A and B are shown apart, each in its own frame.
Chain A
Amino acid sequence: MIEISHLKKFYSKRLIIDDLSFAVKTGSVFGFLGQNGAGKTTTIKMMTGIAAPDSGTITIGGKDSADIAMRETIGFMPEAPYFYDRLTGLEFLRFCGALFPRHKSDEAYAQILKDIGIYDARNRSINTYSKGMKQRLGFAQALVNDPDYIFLDEPLDGLDPLGRREIKKIILGLKTAGKTVFFNSHILYDTEEICDEIGLIHDGKLLYAGGVKEFCKGVPLEQRFVETVEEEARKPVSP
């Protein structure tokens, strides 16, 4: 279970995350949706321990996000990842895995690469990878420690239709294995299919958190999203 409570973050005196509170049920897929610059990446960075909130708490599997040991149970895939170009894919996975107290064998890493679909390129340097391959490698390293909680920042970005289908399949596979998946996206039509619940963020504020169908009420998600955001924009700005 992931619990976010009254999360606030300032950036140069500007409030960019404004009193965020929601929860993610264990074993579900949660889609965190919003415009570019709404605060999705900032939130996910705070959840994974890369950044720290100015006030509020984040609890993942009972552990506070400030606890370094919490990160043993999570995996994170950054948006549009850059890599250490001169390493090979397999070397990079080994490096990531070695940072955990208990790490896996090469066969386990090879299996992850197979599932992700870049096994054939495992011994080539990363600077020879295409954008899609890099995206997949970013996803693969999030799984090296067999985490219970997986955080993905724009996992479908830059992938072609077949790639997107494969990644969605993997996400659903993770859910079947009992993992909790939390991901950011600004592409909405894909997320309808795989999310159990969604959260909507706009200008740092949470507009909605809960089930997809309840939010959509028969209307396509994208349309409902635009409606909600425009409605929020029309509200007078608080003093």
Chain B
Amino acid sequence: MKNIFVIAKNTFRETIRDRILYGIVGFSFLYVAFSILLAKVSLGEIVILKSFGLAGIYAFGIIITIFLGASIIYKELERRTLYFVFSKPVSRLQLILGKFFGLYAAIVLVTALMTAVYLAVIGWNGGGFDALGLLSVFFELLEMAVFTALLVFFSTIATPLTSTIAAVMLLFGGHSMSSVLRTASQIGGPFYRFIQAVYYIFPNLEKFDIRSLAVHHIAVSASVVALAALYAILYTAILLWLANFFLKRKEL
């Protein structure tokens, strides 16, 4: 157990020191400036400022997660830094969990920074304390957990490029599942049943998007929050178990 924390701390430290990360975070601040400009054009409509702000935190969160996560295990396999770890009393599972938590901690930190800036901008522009916006960032962090686990899993079996492409496809797929299901229901038959299976098995990410509600001051119930959190935890566990499974079979 302690090993998981040691590896997580090390992964976090390695990740945070990546200079390209600073570049991406820097771009996010540019985005803040752009949003404020756009809001001025729209006569300070706070809804637009909130929509763009939350969309920006999400987009940059995804980009950073993919950038950091796509190569996380692959890099270690390629560069044999894992030899240091596995010649010590560390199990494959401890490494997977440590890498995941370290990476996720870095993503949470960066997201928190962007959210702090967002809350300040909204407060400054007369929107008060955007509690619902904060809740939607919490949901986003649930989605990022699943997404991070997805990338950790992919990076045990594929190159960073393949991992990135697969992750992006699952991202878009995960957000259009309901409409695909609706369309398939009109076609019916075995195709519809197949789509139904996909709908339930593949990561269904729409539940983590409460932004369209939050910017219009519509709250979500506690049961929705609990269900989303449970789904995220469960799905993350599945993905990390898969990652462990494939790493154990890998010839180092």
Given a CB threshold of 8 Å, the question of whether A touches B is answered with yes
In whole angstroms, how far apart are the Cα atoms of A11 and B3 in the complex? 31
Q: How large is the interface on B (under 10, 10 to 19, 20 to 34, 35 or more residues)?
A: 20 to 34
Determine if B86 and A84 form an interchain contact, defined as CB atoms under 8 angstroms apart.
no
Per-residue CB contact flags for chain A residues 147-171 toward chain B (1 = under 8 Å, else 0) read: 0000100000000000000000000
Query: In this assembly, does A74 line the interface, its C-beta being within 8 Å of a C-beta of chain B?
Result: yes
CA distance A101 to B6 in the complex (A): 11
Report the minimal beta-carbon distance from B181 to chain A, rounded to whole angstroms. 43
A192 at the interface (CB under 8 A from B): no
- Assess whether B83 is interfacial by the CB under 8 Å rule: yes
A91 at the interface (CB under 8 A from B): yes
**B80–A82 touching, CB < 8 Å:** yes
CA distance A145 to B90 in the complex (A): 14
Q: Which of B9-17, B31-39, B57-65, B149-157 contacts A (4 or more CB under 8 A)?
A: B9-17
Compute how far the CA of A107 lies from the CA of B13 in the bound complex, rounded to whole angstroms. 22
Contact B89 A84 (CB under 8 A): no
Given contacts A81-B84, A82-B80, A87-B13, is CB(A71)–CB(B18) below 8 Å? no
Are B88 and A50 in touch, CB under 8 angstroms? no
A98 to B47: give the CA distance in the assembly, Å: 49
Distance in angstroms from A167 CB to nearest chain B CB is 18
By the criterion CB–CB under 8 Å, are A83 and B81 in contact? yes
Is B252 touching A82 in the complex (CB atoms < 8 A)? no
CA distance A101 to B90 in the complex (A): 10
Contact partners of A216 in chain B: CB under 8 A? none
A83 to B81, CA, bound (A): 6
Proximity bits, B74-93, A CB within 8 Å = 1, else 0: 00000111111111111100
Contacts between the two chains (Cβ within 8 Å), count: 70
**Which A residues lie within 8 Å of B85 (CB)?**
99
Pick the contact of A50: B6, B18, B87 (CB < 8 A): B87
- Known contacts A49-B86, A78-B83, A86-B18: does B252 contact A99 (CB below 8 Å)? no
| A residues less than 8 Å from B14 (CB atoms) | 84, 86-87
Complex: how many Å from CA A47 to CA B89? 13
Do residues B81 and A71 form an inter-chain contact, with CB atoms below 8 A? no
Known: A86-B14, A95-B10. A71 touches B79 (CB 8 A): no
Contacts of B81 in A (CB 8 A): 81-84
Tell me whether B79 and A96 are in contact (CB under 8 A): no
**Are B6 and A95 neighbours in the complex by a CB distance under 8 Å?**
yes
Contact, CB under 8 Å: B251 / A71: no
A72 interface residue (CB < 8 Å to B): yes
Residues in B with CB closer than 8 Å to A86 are 13-14, 17-18
Decide if A101 touches B89 in the complex (CB within 8 Å).
yes
Interface membership of A191, Cβ < 8 A: no
Inter-chain contact B80/A78, CB cutoff 8 Å? yes
Q: Which of A86, A91, A141, A145 gathers most chain B CB within 10 Å?
A: A86
* Cβ-neighbour of A99 out of B17, B79, B83, B88 (below 8 A): B88
Q: Which residues, 94 to 116 on B, are CB-close (under 8 Å) to A?
A: none
B10 touches A87 (CB 8 A): yes
| Closest chain B residue to A82, Cβ basis | B79
Closest chain A CB from B29 CB (angstroms): 23
User: C-beta contact mask, A45-74 vs B, less than 8 Å → 1, else 0?
Assistant: 100111100000000000000001101101
Contacts of B6 in A (CB 8 A): 95, 98-99
Query: Nearest 6 A-B pairs (CB), nearest first?
Result: A76-B87, A82-B79, A78-B83, A86-B17, A48-B87, A98-B6
A45-B252, A51-B252 are known; give 14 further A-B pairs, CB within 8 A. A50-B82, A69-B89, A75-B87, A78-B84, A81-B83, A84-B10, A84-B14, A86-B13, A96-B88, A99-B7, A99-B88, A100-B88, A101-B89, A145-B88
**What are 25 of the A-B contact pairs (CB < 8 Å)?**
A50-B252, A51-B251, A68-B91, A69-B89, A71-B87, A72-B89, A76-B84, A76-B87, A78-B84, A81-B81, A81-B83, A81-B84, A82-B79, A83-B81, A84-B14, A86-B13, A86-B14, A87-B10, A87-B13, A87-B14, A95-B6, A96-B84, A99-B88, A99-B89, A100-B88
